[in-house]
Amino acid sequence: MSSGYQMSAIQSEEEARVIETAVRAAVQSVVEVINNISRIRLLDYQRKVAEKDHRLYEKDRENALLKAEVVKAEKELAFLRQLVGLRQDEDVHAQNTTIQVQENELSVDTSCAKRRTGTNKAAIAVQSSLKQPKKPMSSAEKQRLYRARRDADPGRRAEYLEAEKRRWIRDKALGKKKLIHECSVTEKRLKRRRWRLAQEKRKTTKVSSLSQASLNSEQSHPHAGHSSDIHFGCLSLETTATVRGDLVTGSSAEVCSTSEYSESHVDFVTGISFPVVKEEPPHTDTVYIKFEVKEENTSTNQDHSSPSCALERETLENFSFTQHPPEDQSGTRERYDGRERARRYRERIRADPEKQQAYLERDRRRYQQRKKLIHELPDEIQRRRREMWREAARRSRARKKSHIFQWTEPL
């Protein structure tokens, strides 16, 4: 009985071992199949990633080559434009030189035909002076001629303005340009300061060119001395004077009335429109002309009851040789009216000590509330503000020196 039980146990163990071996083999085969499938998928994914990286590398390389070609083409185009502009300027300069030489030769021939007193030596000297080469044109002169030629053609000017507009829009989109309200406070101040300096420079250049042209015309026509009297309207509220000045000798201006001119001079003046001329009161001793309204306040301790009408003095270069339009005169008059109202308000404040004390106290409180020390500002703003202060101090010193140099002699 016991032996039969042992045999059955042995058979069951063998069967279990066989079953376990079969199950293990099946599991191993399944795991191997799964591993093979995963390995195949991984290899396929790696191949796809490598192909994608290769395509991206090729695209980046093509983009870099295209960008290099575009930059090269832009440089070539800019060089060609400069070359074409220089050639056009040279052609215009050559044409102007030829026309000027022809006009000079014609004027020389006509003068010789009229006078009939010229000698061969004089003719040879004139011809040699005409044949002398002129100085090369500067870049500023070339730019001026190019702008004049461009502005003379409405189509070219419209194209230029349209191109400038597109370029400005492109720069604004790229962040290179900003509107004034988009800038910071410091940038706004710097931009406005640059605009004011450029405007003053343009005014100074225009006035100096006009004065130089008038001086050249005066020197080229010395026999027409009586017609070179220049009339300036005094921009004062109380007086309007007529100034007659000699531009060549730089003599001081004098006050004169319309009754002093002869009939021939009146006929000459009636052909030109001048401002209204008034006669000064007999007690007036000196009149100084002020043609430009300054931002500085005049001294309040000046005696206004003086019999002489003393206005601020300006140099001859600040005078305009053309008649101002009515809108300019109205704008100047409005500025004078505002300044007069401010002066009267200050006089009323100073007349009453209590009002003056209250005004000063209010001004002091406002300053204490708004003031900000320089060491509290950022480093960049401190540096810019110190540069602005130094520049303002240099301009003030130069203005004082020029004022002292120009008005050393009493008028």
pLDDT averaged over 10-residue windows placed end to end, the chain, 411 residues: 64 85 91 93 92 90 90 88 80 74 64 56 53 67 84 87 87 78 80 84 73 58 42 39 39 39 41 42 40 40 40 40 44 70 87 89 87 85 91 91 61 44
Q: How far apart are CA 265 and CA 229, in angstroms?
A: 10
What's the confidence (pLDDT) of residue 280? 43
232, 289 Cβ separation under 8 angstroms: yes
In-domain check, residue 166: yes
Structure tokens at 167: 């370029």
Other residues' Cβ atoms within 10 Å of the Cβ of residue 215: 12
232, 339 Cβ separation under 8 angstroms: no
286, 308 Cβ separation under 8 angstroms: yes
Q: Quote the crossing angle between the two packed helices 379-406 and 185-220, to the nearest 10°.
A: 20
Domain interval for residue 163: 150-182
DSSP conformational letter for 306: -
286, 310 Cβ separation under 8 angstroms: yes
What's the confidence (pLDDT) of residue 11? 75
What's the confidence (pLDDT) of residue 213? 59
In-domain check, residue 397: no
What's the confidence (pLDDT) of residue 28? 92
In-domain check, residue 203: no
**Among positive and negative, which fits the CA dihedral 45, 47, 51, 57?**
positive
Other residues' Cβ atoms within 10 Å of the Cβ of residue 80: 10
Phi, psi of 14, rounded to the nearest 5 degrees: -65, -40
In-domain check, residue 123: no
320 dihedral zone (left: phi>0; alpha: psi -120 to 50; beta)? beta
Q: How far apart are CA 287 and CA 306, in angstroms?
A: 12
Q: How far apart are CA 93 and CA 89, in angstroms?
A: 6
What's the confidence (pLDDT) of residue 145? 85
Q: Which residues pair with 255 in a beta bridge?
A: 243
Strand positions, DSSP E, 160-297: 242-243, 255-256
Burial of 289 (0-12, 13-18, 19+ CB in 10 A): buried
In-domain check, residue 66: no
Total domains in the fold of the chain: 1
In-domain check, residue 164: yes
In-domain check, residue 158: yes
In-domain check, residue 39: no
> pTM for the whole thing?
0.22
What's the confidence (pLDDT) of residue 328? 47
With residues binned 3-state (H G I as helix, E B as strand, rest as coil), the percentages for the chain, rounded to 5, are: 70, 0, 25
